[in-house]
A = this chain, B = another copy of it.
Amino acid sequence: MQRDKKMKKDLSTEQKIKDAARKVFMTKGFSGCTTREIAKSVGINVALLNYYFRSKGKLFELILEAALSDFIEAMVEVFSMDLSLEDKTRMLIDKEFEFLRKHPELPLFIHAGLNQESDNDFDQSNFLGRLHQTGIFEQCEKAQEEGKMRKVNMINVTLLFMSNCHFPIMSKKLICGIYQMNESQHEERLNEHQEIVKEMLINYLFPNTFKNA
């Protein structure tokens, strides 16, 4: 009678395992760490890990799904606001940079994690549906018909946002390595980049509002 039957306990152990697993998986990846490492960082026995979650793989899938959900939810939050598309653009980029500064390992973890998994059916959380519910697609479609927004496929719009927000964060080591920068120098570049991306994307997606550089 594993869990699932009665769940009255304090939940703290299960949650502590998840937290530790998240931290370890994030920084080292699935095959880059061991179950014992995770257990040790919680202060529990290895067997307890398989007691709560059935296997290392199952635990990983859980963490990965949660990570995906986290960052889709950040988009949903902004899209649900009552703002113009230009303001949503600015807001999304700012929120994304802010969020990713706190969780810089997240993008790389997600992409590497998805590549590790064999099946790509992460439709369980219905991310597309959650995005649709915000009405962002209709808002864009309307703006595009009115000539206020450049007619670009929404998938490409998504790519533009994600490319310019996620990549600068995940490429930290590469960029610092090439340009021989330290942490604070990179931070400075990142801050400037945040403004660059905002201006560039708004200029490109809403060309009528800005006619000058």
Contacts and interface: CB of A to CB of B under 8 A. Distances in A.
Contacts of A168: 159, 163
A196 interface: yes
Interface in A141-170: 150, 152-153, 155-156, 158-160, 162-164, 166-168, 170
Contact of A167 (B131, B159, B196): B159
Contacts of A162: 167, 171
A120 interface: yes
B152 A29 contact: no
A126 to B, nearest CB: 10
A180 B108 contact: no
Nearest to A130: B178
A36 interface: no
Interface stretch (A7-15, A43-51, A55-63, A203-211): A203-211
B213 A120 contact: no
Contact of A120 (B170, B177, B208): B177
A152 B204 CA distance: 17
* Copies per complex of this chain: 2
Q: Is the interface of A mostly helix, strand, loop or mixed?
A: helix
Interface residues of A, number: 59
19 contacts: A30-B32, A31-B31, A111-B171, A111-B173, A111-B174, A112-B112, A114-B173, A127-B177, A128-B179, A128-B180, A153-B192, A155-B189, A156-B193, A159-B167, A159-B189, A160-B196, A162-B171, A166-B167, A203-B204
The 10 A-B residue pairs with the shortest CB-CB distance, nearest first, are: A207-B213, A163-B167, A114-B173, A200-B204, A167-B167, A31-B32, A31-B31, A163-B163, A127-B178, A155-B189
Interface of A: 27, 29-32, 72, 105, 108, 110-112, 114-116, 120-123, 127-128, 131, 150, 152-153, 155-156, 158-160, 162-164, 166-168, 170-171, 173-181, 189, 192-193, 196, 199-200, 203-204, 207-208, 211-213
